[in-house]
Amino acid sequence: MDINGYKRYISEETMMGPNSVRILAELFERYPLQLTADDQILDLGCGTGLTSLVIAKETGAKVYANDLWVSAEENGKRFARWGIGGQVMPVCEDANHLHFEQKQFSALVSIDSYHYFAGREGFFQEKILPLIKDGGAVLIGIPGLKEEYANRAEELLSDWLGDEAYMFKCPAHWKVLIGRHERIESVKTWEMDCFGKAWEEWLAVNNQFARGDRQYFETIIRPYTCFVGICVKLR
């Protein structure tokens, strides 16, 4: 996908962290989703719906844009303004209590949010797997620790993240947390290539959260963290 085609949507209003479109682009380049208008995708933790817009445009599928922090009303207005109101459905539900049908989705995408609610063994099998069709795929891009600093998140990141430091895990740890199941064909985890560019674009934004991250980027964020890519393919 050509990220330049989405530059006009990437703004201080829509960004909530390192450029989510950049992270999504790498996932789609590595693991393209071959879908149609008859397919449905869950964008889990969609924020302001920026990723939902891109998913809809790139796949042509119907997208359910779910976020707990941004209301369905707010995102619905944004989707209407973007001209995708008929293709992208805004939802506001807790990831632990989703009210979708079993095997409703051909794919699930989650950018910069999965680590907030899924950092325990069994979550994927209990909460995510039942929602995905046979042969479906799950693509996740989240912040994490580099492999060499495994299990040291709280020690290394607490000055920056405080009580949320425990959420950061290395790619190998996330592979263990996804776990095994008879419906899972493969689980791939890796350190993503888009780290530098996605962070650069976020730190250029002029809001309090970006300004807060700037003071830790060279001392904590760049040396110890990465983006973790996860691809789960189902049988």
The C-alpha atoms of residue 30 and residue 67 are separated, in whole angstroms, by 25
What are the structure tokens assigned to 38, written together? 């008859």
The stretch 23-51 carries a mean pLDDT of 97
Question: Residue 141 to residues 8, 82, 102, 229: CA-CA distances in angstroms?
Answer: 22, 24, 24, 5
**Domain-wise residue ranges, the chain:** 3-234
Q: What is the pTM of this model?
A: 0.97
Residues pairing with 107 in the sheet: 41, 137
Going by C-alpha positions, the residue among 226, 118, 123, 223 that lies closest to residue 167 is: 118
Res. 130 pLDDT band, cuts 50 70 90:
very high
The CATH superfamily of 3-234 is Vaccinia Virus protein VP39 (3.40.50.150)
| Cβ neighbours for 34, distance < 8 A, ≥ 6 positions apart | none
Q: Give pLDDT tens digits for 215-234.
A: 999 999 999 999 999 999 99
At position 168, the amino acid (one-letter code) is F
pLDDT of residue 1: 87
Q: Give pLDDT tens digits for 138-184.
A: 999 999 999 999 999 999 999 999 999 999 999 999 999 999 999 99
Q: Please count the other Cβ atoms lying within 10 Å of the Cβ belonging to residue 125.
A: 15
